[in-house]
Structure 1
Amino acid sequence: MLRDSITQAQKDAMKAREKERLAAIRLILAKIKDRDIELRTATATGDDDATISEVLQKMAKQRRESITMYEQGGRQELADQEKAELAVIEEFLPQQMSEADVTAAIESIKAEIGAESVKDMGKVMAELKARFAGQMDFGKASGLVKASFG
């Protein structure tokens, strides 16, 4: 399970005295704990790995945005710190699909559901999210879906 591997990575980082890595892993665990608390009030709890993967993807997206902003602002030391955290977060994320694989998946789903125009974009995106959660960047996929109807 993903939760166990993150906890084990924390222990390994403590033993190896890797301060930066340990700090990033503790951030991950704190976000997961926050999410667990949010889900206590929810009626249905989903798959634990899927929930953790969702948290990790959100954290990775935030880091990527921060890196861009810091680099534009000339704050390279902060950008480097964010990059280090992003590298640790990405260790626990499932392998992302390549752009070619995403395009192939889009075409396959379009053929399956008979999507013919941009009006069907929502149906295609919903199916992508259902089948490939955690395996692709849906922001980029959305652009590819839109382009495929162009």
Structure 2
Amino acid sequence: MSVTAQGPCPCGRTDARGKPLPFARCCGPYLADFEHRAAPDAQALMRSRYSAFVLEDADYLLATWHASTRPPEVGFEPGLKWLGLEVREHQLLDPTHAQVEFVARSRLAGRAQRLHERSRFVCEDGRWFYVDGDLK
């Protein structure tokens, strides 16, 4: 997928008027400078990770995956097209733990797919990380 800085962010976040946020004002800064620009909360991290999947940015995905559950590499399904993200719930459990329930839609070889997950996140040293999730 081709994403431009001023084009809509793949994560689908909108502003107060319901207009899509541009990638440069949404997930773009997190993906461009993970080291200095951490996502402010678990939902923003989850949205930026979805954008990273769309853009096949394995480095960002690995950097935002908690060391306790991080795989050695991230692979991408050839021909998979991500179609959209719906965040259903963002729940801060305590100052360092959160959950985000989402549905991500995709298409592979003409077949529609849905990934419905409740993801767990942890905040360490002011930075949120994806830990794991339960598929619904």
Which bracket does the TM-score occupy, shorter chain normalised?
A: under 0.3
Please identify which structure carries the higher strand content. 2
> Normalization by structure 1: what TM-score?
0.23
